[in-house]
Every structure is written in C-alpha cells, then in structure tokens.
Chains A and B, each alone.
Chain A
Amino acid sequence: EVQLLESGGGLVQPGGSLRLSCAASGLMFSNYPMNWVRQAPGKGLEWVSVISDSGRNTYYADSVKGRFTISRDNSKNTLYLQMNSLRAEDTAVYYCVKGGRSNWAECDFWGQGTLVSVSS
C-alpha cells in the first residue's frame, strides 16, 4: 500500500522559512515524479511544484518561484519542500502527491497534508 506522510508544517512568521518532508513507502519511490499541491483554508487546490524521478528536473508555480525549492533523496524515499520568504498567502495545507511515470500530473496518491500557517 502506497503511503505518503508529510511533516514539518507549523506556525511561522512572515519572512520566515520552513522545510516540509514527505516520507514515501509502498512504492518504488525513485521511479516516480513527485508534486506538492496546496490548499488554502476554504479554498481550492493550487499546484505548487513537481520534481522528476531522478531529481534533475524541477518546475514551480509562478507564485512560489524563487522562494520555494523542491528536492528529493531517493536513498531515503523522501521528498522535500524548502520554503523561504514565507508570506501570509502561503498559509495552506500542503499535500505531497505522487505523479504518473508518463504524465507527471496524474496525481494518483496523496498524503494527508501538513498545515503551514504564516502569521505574526
């Protein structure tokens, strides 16, 4: 059974930093691209970033480009999201999401999410 377990969320002040982690199990982690998707309280889904299976290729939404960095450690089956210069509008539940091998956006397994709150 595929499991994705996010951690690292919490309360941070505007301008601060946070690193999210996602521990994957039940799949050959190194074979799949991985995404981060977020959802602000009471709002819709927003795609944030994707990383290729090898980690060589990364892409970001314009709203986080230059502030967030996605990375992965295939030896530890773990996905990361380093978030810097956080803003109030980054407040959201952040989901770790497995992509498809042929279509990176085919998000067929999701973690339970971790809440990031940016407030003074």
Chain B
Amino acid sequence: DIQMTQSPSSLSASIGDRVTITCRASQSITNNLNWYQQKPGKAPNLLIYSASTLLSGVPSRFSGSGSGTDFTLTISSLQPEDFATYYCQRSSLVPYTFGQGTKVEIK
C-alpha cells in the first residue's frame, strides 16, 4: 500500500505567519490528494481536494500544490481559528490512507 508521510508532525507559529505543511506519498498519486483540518473534539473538515482545489467557503489564505509524490498545504497568513491539526489523504485507489497529521500550535 502507498504510505503518506507528513512533515513536520507539529509546529509553532504566530498570528500572521506563513505556514507550510508537506505530505509525501511513497508512490505517485498524480494529483489525488485531499487536505483536512481538525479542531479538538470536532470532526475533520475538507479544505482542499485534487491537491489544489479549494472547497467552496474555505478562506483563500489556504492553498495546496504538488503532484506525483510531493504536496504542500500553505496558510499564507495564520489566523487564530487556524490552530488545528491538518491531515493529508490519498484519494485515488483504496485504501484512502491519511497522513499522520500536523498539529499547528500557537507560539
């Protein structure tokens, strides 16, 4: 099975910072990648699908890029409501494997 590896596992950042999270697939998944945000005690929310398409209603400070094996989620200017855990997910063939998550904390 294809493995999904996120880095870093956690990071500390300040309001207004630019934040980048990476996700690497063990084999090419072309652009079949989703990004989710999860806040404590809540279900995840889909942010981005097909590697770079923002779901309707998601703020434009979020962006996704990449294809093949290397992907990036960028938050251009971190806001208080963005402190959460972010997961990538392979969305091509089953199993729809998730990355292990990246926790974004307040510095």
Contacts and interface: CB of A to CB of B under 8 A. Distances in A.
Contact of A95 (B43, B50, B95): B43
Contact of B34 (A44, A62, A95, A106): A106
A35 interface: yes
B89 interface: yes
Interface stretch (A17-25, A71-79, A110-118): A110-118
Contacts, number: 60
Residue from A47, A59, A100 whose CB has the most chain B CB atoms within 10 Å: A47
Contacts of B44: 45, 95, 107, 110
Interface stretch (B16-24, B72-80, B97-105): B97-105
A50 B94 contact: yes
A110 B45 CA distance: 8
Q: Chain A: interface secondary structure?
A: loop
A12 interface: no
B91 A103 contact: yes
B94 A44 contact: no
B93 to A, nearest CB: 9
Q: Chain B: interface secondary structure?
A: loop
B1 interface: yes
Contact of A112 (B43, B92, B95): B43
Nearest to B55: A108
A45 B91 contact: no
B87 to A, nearest CB: 6
B49 interface: yes
25 contacts: A44-B87, A44-B98, A44-B99, A45-B38, A45-B44, A47-B94, A47-B96, A50-B96, A95-B44, A103-B32, A103-B49, A103-B91, A105-B34, A105-B90, A105-B92, A106-B34, A106-B49, A106-B91, A107-B34, A107-B46, A108-B55, A110-B43, A110-B44, A111-B43, A112-B43
